[in-house]
């Protein structure tokens, strides 16, 4: 039996509000990864590594490790709503990262819970795990497109996710990526970061496409490593951390891109699992 209690409400800026310099706070709304490399766990590690306090709303519990996902348990929509209410009743959230959601009811609940809060939203449309396991059913794609894309300040799809949202072929060139980014902006988000990790070539190219048509190109060497589990989660949460710290979108994306490249470069220094291992979220801190 699950019991829902009303969260204690503290007026923002009231007598019980914290004093002194504000602590940047970011919220992740995503699924839990028992292997620790992606989802909520990766998001909270990223927030902490980047000097941001992390709060979380768990949408699903997965049984997974570096080899794949063996089970998924969806959190009831009323518990997701209660988590959102509890966080916003007390914490001054500066940015929200949305990851794995699940069915249409969960998407509707999250959209309704965020509607009253005018804060930056980074939407990572998690659809398939690195292992190939499906994480978003087909019935939920339309709800995601209709309810959350218009609310997003930034959408961060990889190439297969962008194609699925647009119901078209996967982009094969930078021109295709830019065109799909503009098409996704037309669905509502202020900007789209087209991630080129699934592309080809010696360099990985990401394109930040804004609603006004401007395109920012970010590149990095395509590194040979199996340890890339959670790269999408890490990048989107790093962007949210930057926004929570007051960076504008372009600066937050550039800083997050640099952080992720460092985490990938250091990933082989971790001995965590025998499959697709995680990136090294604390590469800068542990090296000290």
Which residues are the active-site residues?
A: 195, 228, 230-233
Distances from the Cα of 150 to the Cα of 88, 90, 117, 190, 214, angstroms: 21, 26, 14, 8, 19
CA atoms within 13 A on the CB side of 17: 12
Backbone phi and psi for residue 270, each to the nearest 5 degrees, phi listed first: -95, 140
Backbone phi and psi for residue 203, each to the nearest 5 degrees, phi listed first: -120, 140
Backbone phi and psi for residue 33, each to the nearest 5 degrees, phi listed first: -110, 110
DSSP characters over 85-101:
HHHHHH----EEEE---
Helices 231-244 and 39-49: crossing angle in degrees, nearest 10, is: 40
CA neighbor of 162 nearest in space, from 123, 133, 200: 123
CA pair distance 20, 283, nearest whole angstrom: 30
Give, in degrees to the nearest 5, the angle at Cα 142 between 137 and 146.
140
Q: Which residues contact 215 (CB under 8 A, 6 or more apart)?
A: 178, 181, 207, 208, 209
CA pair distance 253, 233, nearest whole angstrom: 13
132 φ/ψ sector (left φ>0, alpha ψ -120 to 50, else beta): left
């Amino acid at each position: 039996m699950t019991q829902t209690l009303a969260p204690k409400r503290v007026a923002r800026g009231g007598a019980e509000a914290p004093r002194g310099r504000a602590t940047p706070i970011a919220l992740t709304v995503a699924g839990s990864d028992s292997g620790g490399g992606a989802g909520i766990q990766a998001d909270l590690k990223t927030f902490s590594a980047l000097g941001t306090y992390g709060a979380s709303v768990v949408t699903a519990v997965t049984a997974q490790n570096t080899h794949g996902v063996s089970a998924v348990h969806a959190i009831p929509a009323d518990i997701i709503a209660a988590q959102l209410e509890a966080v916003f009743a007390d914490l001054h959230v500066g940015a929200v990262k949305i990851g794995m959601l699940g069915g249409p009811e969960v998407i509707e609940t999250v959209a309704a819970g965020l509607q009253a809060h005018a804060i930056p939203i980074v939407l990572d449309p998690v659809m398939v795990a690195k292992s190939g396991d499906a994480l978003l059913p087909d019935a939920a794609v339309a709800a995601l497109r209709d309810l959350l894309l218009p609310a997003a300040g930034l959408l961060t799809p990889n190439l297969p996710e962008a194609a699925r949202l647009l119901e078209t072929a996967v982009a094969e060139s930078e021109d295709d990526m830019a065109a799909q980014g503009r098409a996704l902006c037309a669905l509502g988000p202020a900007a789209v970061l087209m991630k080129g990790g699934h592309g080809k070539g010696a360099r990985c190219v990401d394109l930040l496409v804004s609603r006004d048509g401007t395109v920012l190109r970010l590149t990095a060497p395509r590194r040979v490593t199996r340890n890339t589990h959670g790269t999408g989660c890490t990048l989107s949460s790093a962007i949210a951390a930057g926004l929570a710290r007051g960076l504008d979108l372009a600066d937050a994306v550039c800083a997050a891109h640099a952080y992720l490249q460092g985490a990938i470069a250091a990933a082989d220094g971790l001995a965590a699992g025998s499959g697709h291992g995680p990136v090294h979220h604390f590469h800068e801190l542990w090296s000290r």
